[in-house]
């Protein structure tokens, strides 16, 4: 039986630097749909872990903290807002410290189970574009449409460097290595590893503009709707 709410979901997965967030938000705007950045939820948990002085590698402590933290995240594509235990962490979740720790935190099975349950509840309200790393494969396996974005390592590093305002070649090189390490961690974790769903539409964004990718996804949405999927 198809899980409740899956048919309302457009899942967009992929690693960092593929343009996933900006594309997913714009697709949601064009469709008049909700938007959920699941990565921001894991980052909010990571903020809580670090704020308490916990070691991200201490899986038991991290699991306990994830059970107690209250996360409020906007699901309107026009609003970028994330709160953890009543504190506005919208800017903090993108910090270097959180970025360095989020893979370890999100790899904890108990954390993933709690976040997946929360994501399913948030996405049941209406048609929602949900972006992350395991949306089509785990969170919403019967989603209306599953998209998996890829790009070359060089393109991904260049995009992320531009986002962070980095231009020094050594900094860009270090960023590329950090992306490689995170890919390895996310792809090899036991719970919900990073991988495309078998029936996902694969889009290589290396040589595409954001508008090109958005249009490709909207065309796929229209195609699926026309087939009654």
What pLDDT score does 66 carry? 98
Decide if 119 is inside a domain: yes
What pLDDT score does 187 carry? 84
What pLDDT score does 3 carry? 45
Query: Residues 134-179: pLDDT tens digits?
Result: 999 999 999 999 999 999 988 988 888 887 788 888 888 888 888 8
Decide if 176 is inside a domain: yes
What pLDDT score does 4 carry? 43
What pLDDT score does 178 carry? 83
CA distance 212 to 197: 22
What pLDDT score does 159 carry? 87
Decide if 199 is inside a domain: yes
Decide if 186 is inside a domain: yes
CATH number for position 102: 3.40.50.300
What pLDDT score does 102 carry? 93
CA distance 172 to 30: 33
Decide if 10 is inside a domain: yes
Query: Residues 70-103: pLDDT tens digits?
Result: 999 999 999 999 999 999 999 999 888 998 899 8
Query: Residues 104-133: pLDDT tens digits?
Result: 999 999 999 999 999 998 876 678 999 999
The average confidence (pLDDT) of the chain is: 90
Q: 174 is in which domain, residue-wise?
A: 6-226
Number of domains the chain is built from: 1
Q: DSSP secondary structure string, the chain? A: -PPTTGGGEEEEE--TTSSHHHHHHHHHHHHT-EEEEHHHHHHHHHHHHHHTT--TT-HHHHHHHHHH--EEE--STT---EEETTEE-TTGGGSHHHHHHHHHHHTSHHHHHHHHHHHHHHTTSS-EEEEESSIIIII-TT-SEEEEEE--HHHHHHHHHHHHT---HHHHHHHHHHHHHHHHHHHH-SSS-S---TTPEEEE-TT--HHHHHHHHHHHHHHHHHTT-
Decide if 1 is inside a domain: no
């Amino acid at each position: 039986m198809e899980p409740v709410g899956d048919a309302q979901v457009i899942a967009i997965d992929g690693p960092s630097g593929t343009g996933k967030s900006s594309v997913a938000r714009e697709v949601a705007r064009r469709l008049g749909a909700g938007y959920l950045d699941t990565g921001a939820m894991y980052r909010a948990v990571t903020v809580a872990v670090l704020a308490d002085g916990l070691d991200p590698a201490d899986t038991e402590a991290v699991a306990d903290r994830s059970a107690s933290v209250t996360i409020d995240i906007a699901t309107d594509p026009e609003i970028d807002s994330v709160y953890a235990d009543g504190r506005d962490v919208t800017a903090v979740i993108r910090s270097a410290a959180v970025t360095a720790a989020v893979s370890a935190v999100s790899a904890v099975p108990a954390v993933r189970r709690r976040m997946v349950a929360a994501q399913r509840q948030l996405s049941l309200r209406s048609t929602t574009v949900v972006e992350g790393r395991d949306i089509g494969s785990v969170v919403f396996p019967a989603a209306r449409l599953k998209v998996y974005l890829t790009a070359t390592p060089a393109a991904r590093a260049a995009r992320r460097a531009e986002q962070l305002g980095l231009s020094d070649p050594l900094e860009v090189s270090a960023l590329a290595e950090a992306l490689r390490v995170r890919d390895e961690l996310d792809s090899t974790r036991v719970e919900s590893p990073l991988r495309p769903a078998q029936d996902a539409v694969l889009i290589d964004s290396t040589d595409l503009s954001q508008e090109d990718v958005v249009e490709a996804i909207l065309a796929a949405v229209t195609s699926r709707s026309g087939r009654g999927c």
